């Protein structure tokens, strides 16, 4: 059985897609996607030898060698342009995912891709910023907790595609639950414009946790007399205020 994290990611893959899972490790996602009939075939990309071997084994053990191609290479390099219409990338930092997409785009590997389903472990803001700068519009954002860790799943389609809003709508101030409005683009990028619109308990817990972390930094800085500490204190206080305002 897939983890809740990978199951939720799988649910973002449009049925019938030609799927490419990059950084696939044991190929759990493509195996589950093909086995369940959600997609007819898939590509699993891996750059590192250990995980590449694990992906080959996972596919062979599932008896899906004819339907899942395991390829060794860096990021989207393993794809021919036009070969995939949905790309999943999970379990890495947002900056690494953004770098993989950026390089892939420069190599023309995103042409024809209709859906990006991404699960950054950290650095979600960096990834949202990349999507925004490269005209990908978020169509859903999910947040879940599993084994004491919080994960976000961001799904994006090319801006202008059917069912996509525009990034201008996404980032020019969101009407939040409770009628509040967030106007601060940096904060929307950090917290997620769609998550902010319909926050769940996990979202609240994540950002309450962030506030607690900032408050303890503030408490330790309170003991410092340095001028730089004063500046840092006001920056942290402002950040706490920005988050608290929209929670």
For residues 208 and 240, what is the distance between their CA atoms, to the nearest angstrom? 10
8 Å CB contact between 192 and 141: yes
Q: HSE (CB half, 13 Å, CA atoms) of 17?
A: 25
Rounded to an integer, what distance in angstroms lies between the CA atom of residue 71 and that of residue 77? Answer: 10
Q: Least distance to ligand SAM from the beta carbon of 52, Å?
A: 8
Q: Which is nearer to ligand SAM, 25 or 124 (CB)?
A: 25
Residues in the chain: 247
Residues in touch with ligand SAM (CB under 6 A): 6, 22-25, 45-48, 51, 74-75, 90-92, 96, 100
* Contact criterion met (CB below 8 Å) for 13 and 38: yes
Q: How far is the CB of 87 from ligand SAM (least distance, A)?
A: 12
Tell how many helices (H) and how many strands (E) occur in the chain. Answer: 10, 9
Q: CB nearer to ligand SAM: give 100 or 156.
A: 100
Please say which residue, 74 or 210, places its beta carbon nearer to ligand SAM: 74
Which one, 23 or 199, has the nearer CB to ligand SAM? 23
Of the pair 151, 207, the CB lying nearest ligand SAM is at 151
CB of 125 to ligand SAM, least distance (A): 20
Closest by CA position to 87, among listed 122, 59, 79, 125: 79
For the bound state, the minimum distance from the C-beta of residue 86 to ligand SAM, rounded and expressed in Å, comes to: 14
Q: At what angle do helices 227-246 and 201-221 cross, to 10 degrees?
A: 160
Q: Compare residues 50 and 160 and give the one whose CB is closer to ligand SAM.
A: 50
Sign of CA dihedral 54, 56, 60, 64: positive
* Minimum CB distance to ligand SAM smaller for 110 or for 188: 110
Report, in Å, the least distance between residue 79 CB and ligand SAM. 11
Q: Where are the beta strands (DSSP E) in 121-184?
A: 136-146, 149-158, 174-175, 181-182
Distance of closest approach, residue 76 Cβ to ligand SAM, in angstroms = 8
| Shortest separation between residue 118's beta carbon and ligand SAM, angstroms | 10
> Distance between CA atoms of 131 and 12, rounded to whole angstroms?
17
């Amino acid at each position: 059985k897939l983890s809740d994290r990978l199951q939720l990611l799988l649910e973002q893959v449009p049925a019938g897609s030609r799927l490419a899972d990059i950084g696939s490790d044991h190929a759990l996602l493509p195996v589950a996607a093909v086995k369940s009939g959600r997609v007819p075939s898939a590509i699993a990309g891996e750059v590192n030898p250990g995980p590449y071997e694990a992906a080959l084994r996972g596919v062979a053990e599932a008896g899906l060698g004819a339907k899942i191609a395991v390829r060794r290479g860096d990021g989207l390099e393993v794809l021919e342009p036009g070969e995939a219409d949905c790309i999943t990338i999970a379990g890495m930092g947002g900056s690494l995912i953004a770098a993989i997409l950026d390089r892939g785009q420069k190599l023309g590997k995103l042409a024809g891709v209709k859906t990006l389903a991404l699960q950054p472990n950290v650095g979600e803001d960096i990834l949202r910023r990349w999507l925004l700068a490269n005209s990908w519009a978020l169509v859903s954002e999910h947040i879940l907790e599993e084994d004491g860790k919080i994960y976000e799943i961001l799904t994006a389609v090319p801006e202008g595609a059917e069912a996509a809003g525009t990034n201008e709508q996404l980032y020019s101030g969101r009407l939040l639950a409770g009628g509040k409005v967030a106007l601060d683009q940096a904060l929307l990028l950090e917290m997620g414009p769609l998550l902010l619109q319909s926050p769940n308990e996990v979202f609240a817990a994540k950002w309450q946790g962030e506030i607690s972390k900032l408050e303890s930094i503030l408490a330790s800085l309170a003991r410092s007399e340095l001028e730089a500490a004063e500046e840092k204190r006001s920056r942290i206080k402002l950040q706490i205020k920005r988050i608290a305002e929209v929670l």
